[in-house]
């Protein structure tokens, strides 16, 4: 799993007033918590934090948070932003402890070109782009690869088809579709057109109107 480093300093001020003062001076309030430590309030440089978040996937990147010379491996659990502006209001960090499983979302990467695409001209549609997993922090994978080379038109790959690394457990429903190979649009339209024409022809077939029988004909049939 990728990791980056970020510096923070302890803070003592609490409440909305203190938070507003911090933001005016270019810092962002935050907090770090974890099973083996008491929650600690932090102050982070707004410019550095904003630049960091612009180049990582916050949900699945380990942030090595340096506070007073101590480095803690963390995950960003919540980022509060202003509802109208891009301003960051608060950040929550969870300290990672080896042996204590965490829940994260990691990207799903399709590898190869489906045979239904390269041979039959189909279209491969990826409907699930990340997977929610439970895993020990030391075993968090960068991503999950899915080999699609043998996928034919009409075939789907589901979460249950994944081969996960040891120690990784999927929390996403096993029946969730990851990708599906569909027929080319031109083929679909070609098949649909004759069916539509047949329907029009059936609707246009003239109704058979039988001549009404006379009283004499009715009487003749009853003999």
Q: How far apart are CA 78 and CA 177, in angstroms?
A: 28
pLDDT of residue 223 exceeding 50, the answer is no
Say which residue, 16 or 125, is predicted with more confidence.
Answer: 125
| 181 strand-pairing partners | 124
DSSP, collapsed to helix, strand or coil, labels residue 24 as helix
Nearest to 55, CA basis, from 18, 105, 115, 6: 6
Domains and CATH numbers, the chain: 3-97 (2.40.240.10), 103-185 (2.170.120.20)
Give the residue with greater pLDDT, 2 vs 114.
114
What is the CB-side half-sphere exposure of residue 202 using CA atoms within 13 A? Answer: 6
Question: How many CA atoms within 13 Å lie on the side-chain side of 13?
Answer: 13
What residues pair up with 90 in beta bridges, in sequence order?
80
Say what the pTM is: 0.70
Q: Is the pLDDT of residue 25 over 90?
A: no
Question: 88, 28 in Cβ contact below 8 A?
Answer: yes
Mean pLDDT computed over 42-63: 90
Q: Are 32 and 72 contacting, i.e. CB atoms less than 8 angstroms apart?
A: yes
Asked if residue 214 has pLDDT above 80, the reply is: no
Number of C-alpha atoms within 13 angstroms, CB side, residue 130? Answer: 12
Residue 3 tokens read as 């990791």
Least confident interval from 11-20, 29-38, 95-104: 11-20
Phi, psi values for residue 164, rounded to 5°: -90, 150
- The answer on pLDDT for 109 being more than 90 is yes
Give the tokens for residue 75: 């995950």
Specify which residues 44 forms β-bridges with: 28
Whether the per-residue pLDDT at 112 is higher than 80: the answer is yes
């Amino acid at each position: 799993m990728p990791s980056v480093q970020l510096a923070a300093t302890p803070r003592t001020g609490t409440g909305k007033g203190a938070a507003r003062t911090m933001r005016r001076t270019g810092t962002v309030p935050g907090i770090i918590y974890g099973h083996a430590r008491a929650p600690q309030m932090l102050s982070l440089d707004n410019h550095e934090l904003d630049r960091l978040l612009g180049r990582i996937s916050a949900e699945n990147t380990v942030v090595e948070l340096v506070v007073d010379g101590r480095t803690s491996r963390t995950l960003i659990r919540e980022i509060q932003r202003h509802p109208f502006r891009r301003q960051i209001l608060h950040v929550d960090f969870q300290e990672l402890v080896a042996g204590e499983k965490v829940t994260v979302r990691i990207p799903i990467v399709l590898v190869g070109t489906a045979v239904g695409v390269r041979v039959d001209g189909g279209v491969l549609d990826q409907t699930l782009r990340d997977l929610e997993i439970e895993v020990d922090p030391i075993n968090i994978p960068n991503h999950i690869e899915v080999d699609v080379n043998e996928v034919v038109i009409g075939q789907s790959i589901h979460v249950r088809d994944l081969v996960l690394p040891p120690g990784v457990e999927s929390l996403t429903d096993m029946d969730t579709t990851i990708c599906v190979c569909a027929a080319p649009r031109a083929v679909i339209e070609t098949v649909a057109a004759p069916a539509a024409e047949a329907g029009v022809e059936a609707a246009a077939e003239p109704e058979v109107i039988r001549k009404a029988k006379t009283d004499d004909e009715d009487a003749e049939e009853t003999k």
